[in-house]
Amino acid sequence: MKLQMVGCSHHTASVEVRERLAFSPQQAADALQRWQQLFPHAEAVLLSTCNRTELYTAASESPPSHHEVAEFLASFHNIPLPEVFDELFEQSGEGAVRHLFGVAASLDSMVVGEGQIVAQVKQAYDLACSRRSTGPITHDAFQAALRVAKRVGTETTIHHRRVSVASVAVADFARQIFERFDNKEVLVIGAGETAEETLRYLVDEGAKRLTVVNRSLDRATDLARRWSATARPWSDLSALMTAADLVVSATGATEAIFALDDFRRIEAQRFQRTLCVLDLAMPRDFDPAIGECIGVYLYSIDDLRETCEANRRARQREWPAAEKIIDEEASRFVSEMRHRASAPTIQRLRATCDELKSVELQRLLNKLNDADVRDREEIVMAFDRLVNKILHLPMTTLRDDAEQPHHTGLIDALKRLFQLRD
């Protein structure tokens, strides 16, 4: 099974590297189109979230190498490969399957048990399907990953009382700055899933003066209506930043939306009032230098790491059950893939032997003109028994080999020995 993943995550790469390699939805679509032009024989699904960029690839023969995939990711963003190569890691074969299953089940998330990742995995798969960059291997792998995520959610409590990145940011960081939210001007920038999760949590925490701003005013209006907030046009961003006490930003922008110079222009009007900015976007929406300004507390995704590790430890009791499910499903998936890969070869071997048997049997029967019907039937059965006995051990060995965790090359050897063509 020639499935591999090359990418980076919060485990392996800094936020600076992750934001350089992040893909917006439109960039992901463009990248898949470019992939098909460069590697028309290889399947691909691109998963890009605030915490990871991972390109899953597959091919029946001669898949792109680790270096080629890394070069593709870097060149799309016009990044010299040496600047990011050491930050990228690879999983292949069964390791790639287990990794994908763990990602979809939220075991590899910064906030273990958060529910957003499975939707992001599905969106990545759906985009690849719409761009026709998927194939038999990635279809099976991603459909299985979604089933595994559902099973982990149903059979364990790892998602119970789950927390999101947004809730961790508000509860553990904004709460350090403000004792209450009901009297604070709260600005939410963006209108996607993270923005909605943030609004849900803020409303539960008592926030009342909520404003949503987004490049699409229609989307901002729709989101604001659901949470009794006010929608404002993107052109009001500077004025809203001037008035805000708490800002939560989670846009899909490919570069910072608020630079240090932008903040300098409104800084005097704020009179050094406390400002808490929770930048949950990737790439980051706010210039990190803004965090050095007087009265500003700026937190990014990576600042949540310690709190998220505490969350991971608190859920550790459920890990064995969840990992057992992933182990079972990964082993079953790999075994089924090996069986599927070996079945055509076994069938061709059987067909080749039957063809040879039929030719030699007919040649013999043509010479035995005096043989009666019963004798002819005995001869036919004897030929059948001989072929079955000859094939029994090789076929049993091939089926057993398909269940082994490591590929031994028996199928390839069989193809060469008997010249079995695909």
Helices 136-155 and 94-104 pack at an angle, to 10 degrees, of 50
How far, in Å, CA of 57 to CA of 42, rounded? 7
Q: Please tell me what DSSP assigns to residue 106.
A: T
* CB neighbourhood size of 80 (10 A): 9
How far, in Å, CA of 277 to CA of 258, rounded? 11
How far, in Å, CA of 289 to CA of 138, rounded? 41
- Give catalytic residue positions: 50
Q: The sheet that has 43-48: what strands, in order across it?
A: 43-48, 52-58, 3-9, 89-92
- If 0-12 CB within 10 Å is exposed, 13-18 middle and 19+ buried, where does residue 298 land? buried
Tokens at residue 60, please? 């029946």
How far, in Å, CA of 370 to CA of 376, rounded? 10
Degrees (nearest 5) of the Cα angle 45, 48, 52? 115
Contact 34, 92 (CB under 8 A): no
How far, in Å, CA of 320 to CA of 314, rounded? 13
* CB neighbourhood size of 178 (10 A): 19
